[in-house]
Amino acid sequence: MVAFTPLFICGVCVSLLAAALYVLKVFKQSALNLPPGPFPLPVIGNLHLLDIRRQDKSLMKISEKYGPVFTVHLGLQKVVVLTGYEAVKDALLNTADVFADRPAIPIFHHIQHGNGVFFSSQELWKTTRRFTVATMRDLGMGKRLGEERMLEELHFLIELIKSFKGGPLPLRFLNMAPTNITFAILFGRRFDYEDPTFLTLLRLIDEVMHLLGSPFLHLFNFYPFLGFLLKPHKMILKKVEEVCVILKKCIKESKENMNENNLMSYIDALVFKQEEQKKSNTVFHDANVLASALDLLMAGTETTSTTLQWAILLLLKYPEIQEKVHAEIKRVLGPECLPTFEDRKNMPFTNAVIHEVQRFVSLLPHVPRCTSADTHFKGYFIPKGTTVIPLLTSVLLDTTQWETPDEFNPNHFLDADGNFIKKKAFLPFSAGNDSVRSCTGHRVPSVLGRYHPGGRVRASGTGTHGGMV
């Protein structure tokens, strides 16, 4: 006969009580008319239903049963997920104020402590966002000055490609040009491709982005109290600190050499704003200045670089599309002319291919939101402070908006006469306030990870003979 000790019996009772309270909590949520969803298990919630590396696809699968608005439990956190164009559009455009706040994602909170452009909230975010948008415009983004920076950098990229003399070219080398354009905006000058600071920043950014996609990093975001057992977030914080050392040096140099009548960079503008409003105790304190520069450095170098790599790989996979792009560029630009923004009007197929690359690869699965007030949405009640995931992947693959959503098909952006057409469901970087957060045209780090194309490609120009080696 087995003898049960009082301690064992007490433990069983506590466990049963905890389970009962958990069940009561779930039923209470049902009574409030919250969005439906799979029944959560204790501690892990619905994590057993997710592919940790492609959570977006797992969430789309769950939506097939529970509809476009549903609840999942990511560990101990309750999250409302929005899928499909209509639900995401209604949240981000029609009721944007309610879904405008940001949840505290552990890894980004540890990095930024609530500061910066992307993961701050409320008045701090609004003020920093307005400043960043205005500064980017003043620095030439979307204007001729921005075009001149790109054409200058294109010259150096062409020379780099030529240096391989038709041999294998690592795809990561293509990152140098778009990254340098971002650096020029941030620091006021471009870097030589061999510059030690440039190479150090490239390495650190790439390492941090890889770590952000680690399954163990997701585990840390789900259960931050287990951080002492996990390694990736510690490595991220260490590498980010190395980046911050470089940024602090740049900020110090800007303070020493800044000419308020000739602000040359985003960091110059940040420092000037800080000095201008120093006595009024504004949001432009040292921590927010550093965090804002870090945001644009880390996030602003990633999207364009990775999109460019995917474009190369997809054109290699579909040589007939590559041929049409090549023919259009040759017809419009000729053998010597460099492209301008105005040339896009005369290159509808190339423009369609670029848009289709962004739609097809879904680089940014979602940008998390948080409700700023109690709200009723699509017939359901969502309490204030609830984390909301507008699933952008589901919009870019919505079968009601795209003829062949799972195929790489530039015709998604062309009419019957071959003219380029805009699609409302083209939301690669979110919409509403998030389109302002992505004002540089670059990617915000995603808590769902990232998808690297990887590999090497022959530097064989625009012909169809390039291949993976």
Q: Which regions of 98-235 does DSSP assign to beta strands (E)?
A: 168-170
What separation in angstroms does the CA of 57 have from each of 238, 341, 412? Answer: 31, 35, 21
Task: Please state, in angstroms and rounded to a whole number, the distance separating the CA atoms of residues 370 and 121.
Answer: 10
Which of 423, 282, 370 has its CA nearest to residue 77?
370
> Where do we find the tokens 């492209």?
339
pLDDT at 143: 62
Under CATH, to which class is 122-458 assigned? Answer: mainly alpha
The answer, as to whether pTM is greater than 0.85, is no
pLDDT at 280: 66
Evaluate whether 40 touches 53 at the Cβ level (below 8 Å). no
For the annotated binding site for heme, the residues are 439
Helix, strand or coil, per DSSP, at residue 375: strand
Q: Which residues touch 221 (CB under 8 Å, ≥6 apart)?
A: 105, 106, 107, 447
pLDDT at 11: 58
Residue 382 structure tokens: 């969502």
Q: How far apart are the first and last CA of the chain?
A: 69
pLDDT at 285: 87
pLDDT at 238: 95
Task: Please state, in angstroms and rounded to a whole number, the distance separating the CA atoms of residues 11 and 335.
Answer: 78
Q: Which residues touch 393 (CB under 8 Å, ≥6 apart)?
A: 56, 57, 60, 362, 365, 366
pLDDT at 13: 59
For the annotated binding site, the residues are 439
Q: Which residues touch 312 (CB under 8 Å, ≥6 apart)?
A: 171, 174, 453, 457, 466
Evaluate whether 443 touches 307 at the Cβ level (below 8 Å). no
Phi/psi of residue 5, nearest 5 degrees? -75, 155
Task: Report the sign of the C-alpha dihedral through residues 58, 60, 63, 64, in that order.
Answer: negative
Per-block average pLDDT, block size 10, for the chain (469 residues)? Answer: 56 56 54 88 92 89 96 94 94 86 88 87 85 84 73 90 89 86 87 93 90 88 88 93 93 84 86 79 84 86 83 95 95 85 92 95 86 92 94 95 96 96 87 44 35 41 30
pLDDT at 463: 34
